[in-house]
Structure 1
């Protein structure tokens, strides 16, 4: 399933701070912790807890969020379907990066082992 330009634009303009509380709820509802969520976000983006809070406070868009991120070199190992899209088939880099994060949060909520989530080989 291909993303549309409108879909990609909507994701780019969405603020990280508007989605972050949903990540917390999803993870905590299934027994995960905020610390684990921060570990996963830091692995993908390189953002420390303080930097993440700064980006939340600044209400940055996902576009800005991922422009500032230093994407993990193993991020390409994140595969599968999330929100109806096969991640490895998403053409738009920004949309693919957002779906990487969605997939990691989903795996954390499903209580996968951290070594698997963080693609430790």
Structure 2
């Protein structure tokens, strides 16, 4: 994916706390829970609920959010199309990590089993 630098910068400057309510609404609308969303977030980032709440309260950007994260070593197993791009082909690492999260939230909302969402090698 050859995303433009301006699009990558726009994604980097978005705050996690501004997007989180949309993630939550999306999964709850489809019958999933906040706890399941947090399980997915924890799997991808290594953050526990306390840390997620701190980061939202601090209004951190995605750039800061993912800089502090310990990305799951199996995140590379997340594949497929999100926002018209194949996540495994995204060149900018931050944009790819944000799209990993988007993809996981989509899978959760679509009713995919948690064992499939939380990939293991």
Q: With structure 1 as the length reference, what TM-score do the two structures score? A: 0.98
Partner of 1:54: 54
Whole-Å Cα distance in 1 between the matches of residues 18 and 86 of structure 2? Answer: 24
Whole-Å Cα distance in 2 between the matches of residues 68 and 31 of structure 1? Answer: 30
Runs of 4+ in structure 1 over 3 Å off: none
Contact 1:2 1:85 in 2 (8 A): no
Residue by residue over 1:45-68, the C-alpha shift from the partner in whole angstroms, topping out at 9 and shown as x without a partner, is: 000000000000000000000000
Residue by residue over 1:29-59, the C-alpha shift from the partner in whole angstroms, topping out at 9 and shown as x without a partner, is: 0000000000000000000000000000000
> Aligned-pair RMSD on alpha carbons?
0.8
Partner of 1:79: 79
Matches within 5 A, 1:17-96: 17-96=17-96
**Residue 120 of structure 1: how far off its partner (Å):** 3.0
Structure 2, unpaired ranges of 5+: none
Say yes or no: does 1:104 pair with 2:101.
no
Structure 1, unpaired ranges of 5+: none
Q: With structure 2 as the length reference, what TM-score do the two structures score? A: 0.98
Q: Secondary structure at the match of 2:24?
A: helix
Whole-Å Cα distance in 2 between the matches of residues 2 and 120 of structure 1? Answer: 28
Q: What is the number of equivalent residue pairs in this alignment?
A: 121
